[in-house]
Structure 1
Amino acid sequence: MTTTSNPFQALPQRTGAKIIPTGWPTYRAMRGQPESVRWQFYEFSKRLRAALEGHGCMFVEGYDQFVRRVCEELQL
């Protein structure tokens, strides 16, 4: 039997932690919103990530990468 390699197996993991893949959540659909609304989504995205991490979730994407990506998606 052939086993398939899983890139998530190599990640350090806390017991019972869920691993959130890179690129989630995405905010590209919010680009058409006024800048003030996009800044609110930026703040919301940081609070959402902090809350998920507080509940034991781990992200493949580092925090700096996450902030860079969200800023790019929201064109901030």
Structure 2
Amino acid sequence: MTTTNPLAPPQDARTAPVIVGPWPSYASFADLPERERWKMYSGAKAHRELLEQAGFVMSETYDDFVRRVTRELNV
């Protein structure tokens, strides 16, 4: 098992691990009350930020990520 140091500086995008998916779908949460869907959206953004801070590079752009999650959560 590889342990990632959360205090390590971000890696150069050319050498960083790239996460290509499959992306988690938030569509199953679309029937939750609006307040709960906003919490899920906030959590999704926080999770992505933590991965990026750990040096991971996402193949899905941030704008595409936001569009997809807001569409899936209907927020």
Q: TM-score range by the shorter chain?
A: 0.7 to 0.9
Moved over 6 A (4+): none
Structure 2: which 5+ runs fail to align?
1-12
Residue 71 (structure 2) pairs with residue 72 (structure 1): yes
Change (3 A) 1:69 1:22: farther
| Number of the residue aligned with 2:61 | 62
Change in 2 beyond 3 A, CA 1:40/1:55 = same
Q: Distance in 2 between matches of 1:73 and 1:23?
A: 15
Spell out, residue by residue over 1:26-47, the C-alpha distance to the aligned partner (whole angstroms, 9 max, x if none): 2111011110000000000000
CA distance in 2, matches of 1:74, 1:23: 18
Number of aligned residue pairs: 63
Indicate the percent of aligned positions where both proteins have the same amino acid.
40
Q: CA deviation at 1:22?
A: 5.0
1:1-76 superposed matches below 5 A = 13-14=14-15, 17-21=16-20, 24-76=23-75
RMSD: 1.5
Q: Which residue identity lines up with residue 36 of structure 2 in the other structure?
A: V
1:61 counterpart SS class: coil
Show structure 1 runs of 5+ residues with no match: 1-11
Residue 13 (structure 1) shift: 2.7
The code of the aligned residue for 1:13 comes to R
User: Which structure is larger by alpha-carbon Rg, 1 or 2?
Assistant: 1
Q: TM-score, length-normalised on structure 2? A: 0.75
